Structure 1
């Protein structure tokens, strides 16, 4: 398995579509997928990735605290907010965002877990979009999600290899407009697929001097080393063996890997093994000894020491705490009863 697929597999993406928007200029909205909204569609999650698929027209988008982040998103483009941060959408971002939270709250209360429809604006040029989110685990700092820009767009149309994407976008627009039996699961799975494709295209578009995990995955030699470690994380890798299989000298791979990812190969591998272990402890039933063996530790004692250094507590305690937190999160979402911030006034 390649490194990107392995990382996305570990965070257990779960998609949901919550809004079919039909807006006419002038309009501006303030959006954020919060816990109450997401909890109506999927189990509680540690991280929310917001996205908007523009199916007709176009709009501006930006992060409220960063005017330089403003970008225009046209039909056929996917807007992604990887950290699930609050963001502005509108025909113009100079307009005071509209107070639409009460409309969404009423729909969510009357039809929880169902696609909501929102029509808003001044009657001018039309923009239609499908809004959704991806809920995922974030054991510490997932290398993919943390490496992505805070807000970005991807053109899903103008590419010789994108015929399937164009047909998928047309299909998504039709599903959102007609809303037939099974539309929720169809759009949810499609959103997961579009997000993975958006990450792939983000990697392809990186400048040659860019550093970070995404750049490492896209590098011919470092990407090969990452793929090897992710394919067999429990293997007793050495830099010499990785270098030989990647086609570089030991020193060249170590230098290239560290320059791109900010840490040497063995440090990265140790961190990734513990991420896998944490994921197994979160939802699995294996003994600590079995988990230690699964991720390449020869003794449970060594695993306990490494895990405590990484997470601040031994694995048994961490497993108990995550179970308790899951119960608290579920109760909090059930009690929240509202979607303040899903699309609402700025600062509300």
Structure 2
């Protein structure tokens, strides 16, 4: 997803809100806006047709979410150091945070080969069909790897649990999620031209629905960033940073935006978010810069000006400290990939 520089109109609106003390949005609206804007970058999808006994290893992929939709049969999902979770037809499981894990036909099965190293039929560059296992009872899965580019969405994903499941046959599962699961199962059961494109778009929808259902089902769900966004004073500051990241923010100005003293604001912000206000501001700016370097032909000097840095050198130092690579190395890598 391309992240544009703050528009002048948006910056003016944000500045007006800051000077007048009027909140950009109320707490519940902030979270609703983030949920509404969730957009993913699809990495890969695989339709797996599996016969017992079978076992597959899903490799760790940094900054991604793996998901698995079981459309027929049953299986077990096992993460290192955690108890296995049984999945049945119609269930959806999300594994955030890029963690490697195993899919198994039996809870106590030995680990299997890495799924990406097995021979499979590639229908497109990003979609394959895998047939694997023995001659026993069949199970059918659609698996995928997706990532969020929007910085707010990435902050939200950081709060997710190690595994998030939505049961297709449970009362708690949202009807819209069950409907999407049924549509996906029908698409795979009766393949038609372009069916893989439909299945992948349905999978994207399922991931967003699962995150929404998790938050809606537990008002206290999430930690840190979600709680901070809901907080009347700290949420107002986070919204202002997001609305105008290039503003000349200081700890004093952020504290005034919250209507708190410097010490109280800094302590409350750090308690909710897990890092100091200026550290959050810097990381947010660098995340925006990284996204733009990947998606746009933009210079470090332009980013420095857009994100409130007085010099390109100061921006480069901050970027390298937070991201771990120089802006120039990111630009060169993206040019090669393009």
Give CA-to-partner distance per residue, 1:144-171, whole Å, 9 cap, x none. 4444333332346656893322221111
Please point out which of 195, 205, 229 is paired with 1:193: 205
Match of 2:103 among 89, 105, 108: 89
Give 1:58's match in structure 2, choosing from 59, 64, 74: 74
Q: Does 1:116 align with 2:129?
A: yes
| Equivalent residue for 1:287, pick from 299, 309, 312 | 299
Q: Residues 21 and 128 of structure 1 are in contact (CA less than 8 Å); yes or no, is this contact kept in structure 2?
A: yes
**Contact 1:212/1:262 (<8 A) preserved:** yes
1:180/1:215 Cα in 2 relative to 1: closer, same or farther (>3 Å)? farther
CA 1:120 to 1:213, structure 2 compared with 1: closer, same or farther past 3 Å? same
Structure 1 residues 182 and 216, CA gap change in structure 2 (3 angstroms): farther
Shift in CA distance, 160/73, structure 1 to aligned 2, threshold 3 Å:
closer
Is 2:273 the partner of 1:261? yes
Note the C-alpha offset of 1:116. Answer: 0.8
Contact 2:73 2:88 in 1 (8 A): yes
Partner of 2:41: 13
Query: Do 1:3 and 1:230's aligned partners in 2 also have CA atoms closer than 8 Å?
Result: no
Q: Distance in 2 between the 1:199 and 1:290 partners? A: 35
> TM-score of the superposition, structure 2-length normalised?
0.71
| Farther off after superposition, 203-212 or 308-317 | 203-212
SS at match of 1:197: helix
With the length of structure 1 as denominator, give the TM-score of the two structures.
0.69
Partner of 2:205: helix, strand, or coil? helix
C-alpha separation between the residues in 2 aligned to 1:71 and 1:149? 14
1:30 aligns with 2:44: no
Which runs of 5 or more structure 2 residues have no equivalent in the other structure?
Answer: 1-28
Task: State the Cα distance separating 1:74 from its structure 2 match.
Answer: 3.3
**Per-residue Cα deviation, 1:78-124 (whole angstroms, up to 9, x for no partner):** 2122244432223422134566969951424x876544153645645
Whether the 8 Å contact between 2:45 and 2:143 is mirrored in structure 1 is yes
Tell me, which stretches of 5 or more residues in structure 1 are unaligned? 36-45, 328-348
Alignment of 1:269-308 (within 5 A): 269-308=281-320
What's the RMSD between the two structures over aligned residues? Answer: 4.1
